[in-house]
Amino acid sequence: MKMMSWGDALWLGLTARFARVGRLRRAVLMLAAAACTAAAVLYWKQQTDDSANRPLHSMYSGIEPQWSWLCQHDRCERYQASDTTTLQSLQTCNMLCASTQLWPQPTGPVSLASAAVPVRSDRFSLKVIASPSRDVTKHINEAFIVMQNHMRTLEHGVVGENRRSDIGPPRDVLVKVSVNGSGDPRMRLDTNESYKLALRPSGNSLVVDITAHSFCGARHGLETLLQVTWLDPYAGSLLILEAATVVDAPRFPYRGLLLDTARNFFPVSELLRTIDAMAANKLNTFHWHVSDSQSFPWKLDSAPQLAQHGAYGPGAVYTSDDVRTIVKYARIRGIRVLMEIDTPAHVGRAFGWGPEAGLGHLAHCIEAEPWSSYCGEPPCGQLNPRNPHIYDLLEHVYREIIQLTEVDDIFHLGGDEVSEQCWAKHFNDTDPMDLWMEFTRQAMHVLERANGGKAPELTLLWSSRLTRSPYLERLDPKRFGVQVWGASQWPESRAVLDAGFRSVISHVDAWYLDCGFGSWRDSSDGHCGPYRSWQQVYEHRPWATETPESAAWPVEGGAACQWTEQLGPGGLDARVWPRTAALAERLWADRAEGATADVYLRLDTQRARLVARGVRAAPLWPRWCSHNPHACL
């Protein structure tokens, strides 16, 4: 059945009423209708002729909108489009009403105009005013292209035949970037990520000035510029705020997401999409937990036997070219790739080829039974700390990681959940904890050799029994840092911080995204719970305990962890987003307030941005609440 237009529906209603009146009355009504129509035509013509002076939000692209949103008392209220003379899309109302709609919330002064003008992606141009190196200039140009491509994605199917011609011509936008600082475009531990953005009209054009001390800071400025640009479906055009100033810098230098690709394999395309979503939220560390006891899916050039014996199959392997692709993609988006090969535990069949190669046993307890006696989840496996060949192998692995990622100031050794019983079974002459400590020292030694004779500035270990007293005191806080995954109230979680170890927070009771999905095996619990909502993620501030000790804690930042025992390709986006976006704002801005109404509104807008980029982020609430947000808060 063909749906009638507003005009058809109106005319049909009028003729039905005419049939029920007398001839004379009908004539009178028809004359009145004709007079009204003539007046309406004259009024419409007057408005059309005056289109240059009409507000942009009163126009739409030939569609017949059902709803209009108006900013009333600093909030967007929904009205039937037929009940108001002003037609405004939800997107434009959100951007022009009281909330900043930036994510993560900037930490410095912000001033945003309440008016918008039309733009097009191909009318943006870049001018690099200052740059400390050719490499930085190259990265700025590539990051600008990434921004333009995101704008083109928004424009897809709209620019051209669907665009209103009477909203005025699109403005030219000149983006001027100045970087006065580091000539190294990589994300480093000491990278200054601050930036300043100033958007202003200049005649019939717009000028954007972005100043930063690093490429990564400038890239964040481009990301913010993208956030003050949006698609208005009623105008059929991209719009941009007419003016804006933003001064911004992150609270924490380490803002990460861990993805486990060993329990289940994820194609490169899903990793790239995840990195793109991270960039949209100004996260800066993709912690790639590439291997575990279940599989070793990376075919190293220096040790291809690990994937040959440890991968699920030929279709579940990352090549060195794949790693280079991921690293380059991340770097242009201001993100480091931190690859972790977890040792000495969490290894499996990947290390079972030693005897046939004449290297002896590289690992023990591989797929040992009953597994619950030798590891936390099947299958088991643990490196042989007394075999010198294992350290030669690790040196090759570490060197290849550093060469491919070009991340040499931070490294992750793993070091989680070592089974004392496994080593006690094979080395009954030595305390397993002494073996663990000796292995860690040896691993650190070969890491230094692999890194050109220099230890990374920060070498991370997972929190474990090794990072509890009395063993914690035997580790050097100048050489090691700790990624704290235990519950926030566990004494050992606080002990690491109290002892002065630089730490990355990943508390299981707040930032483990795999929790709340039940057990995947029937022999034990095998899961953490309950589900960690985005509100819980957002409101977790373990460093804000208001104690003298916490004020001095050397917290580098934090990371959400997505372990994948119960997750595979196709389900990643909705599991990670928008919860990790909540983490991103916590680590960037760290405002004292929790999940307030403004946070709901801005996160809903950010979630819509992610969806527009092709990220299948889970909804925060029913769509009705997006249309009527204050009714749901």
450 and 424 housed in the same domain: yes
484 and 392 housed in the same domain: yes
Specify the DSSP element, H or E, that contains 559: strand 555-562
539 and 395 housed in the same domain: yes
Q: For residue 466, what are the domain limits?
A: 254-594
- Structure tokens given for 127: 């001018």
Query: Domain containing 342 — which CATH number?
Result: 3.20.20.80
Closest C-alpha among 377, 400, 248 to residue 323: 400
Query: Domain containing 151 — which CATH number?
Result: 3.30.379.10
> What pLDDT score was predicted for residue 323?
98
436 and 355 housed in the same domain: yes
Does residue 430 form part of some domain? yes
Q: Torsion over CA of 198, 201, 205 and 208, rounded to 10 degrees?
A: 0
Does residue 35 form part of some domain? no
Question: Which residues in 430-461 are b (16+ Cβ under 10 Å) and which e?
Answer: eebbebbbebbebbbebbbebbeeebbbbbbb
Q: What total of structural domains would you count in the chain? A: 3
Closest C-alpha among 529, 535, 534 to residue 514: 529
268 and 199 housed in the same domain: no
Contact assessment for residue 355 and residue 335, using Cβ atoms and an 8 Å cutoff: no
Does residue 352 form part of some domain? yes
Residue type, 297: P
Please report how many Cα atoms fall inside a 13 Å half-sphere around the Cα of residue 6, on the Cβ side: 8
Closest C-alpha among 101, 117, 60 to residue 84: 60
Does residue 615 form part of some domain? no
Specify the DSSP element, H or E, that contains 78: strand 75-80
211 and 317 housed in the same domain: no
223 and 282 housed in the same domain: no
Q: Look up residue 512 and give its DSSP letter.
A: B
Alpha helices in 481-551 (DSSP H): 491-498, 508-511, 534-539, 548-551
Contact assessment for residue 127 and residue 172, using Cβ atoms and an 8 Å cutoff: no
Q: Which of 197, 231, 248 is the last residue of a domain?
A: 248
232 and 142 housed in the same domain: yes
Give the number of other Cβ atoms within 10 Å of residue 13's Cβ.
10
Q: Which of 214, 248, 282 is the last residue of a domain?
A: 248
User: What parts of the chain have a pLDDT lower than 70?
Assistant: 1-63, 157, 159-166, 522-527, 546-549
Distance CA(618)–CA(25), nearest Å, equals 58
174 and 77 housed in the same domain: no
201 and 301 housed in the same domain: no
Contact assessment for residue 307 and residue 379, using Cβ atoms and an 8 Å cutoff: no
545 and 398 housed in the same domain: yes
Does residue 15 form part of some domain? no
Closest C-alpha among 377, 419, 379, 418 to residue 526: 377
**Any idea which residue has 């289940």 for tokens?**
264
Does residue 538 form part of some domain? yes
Does residue 143 form part of some domain? yes
128 and 269 housed in the same domain: no
Does residue 268 form part of some domain? yes
Contact assessment for residue 114 and residue 86, using Cβ atoms and an 8 Å cutoff: no
**Could you give the residue numbers annotated as active site?**
417
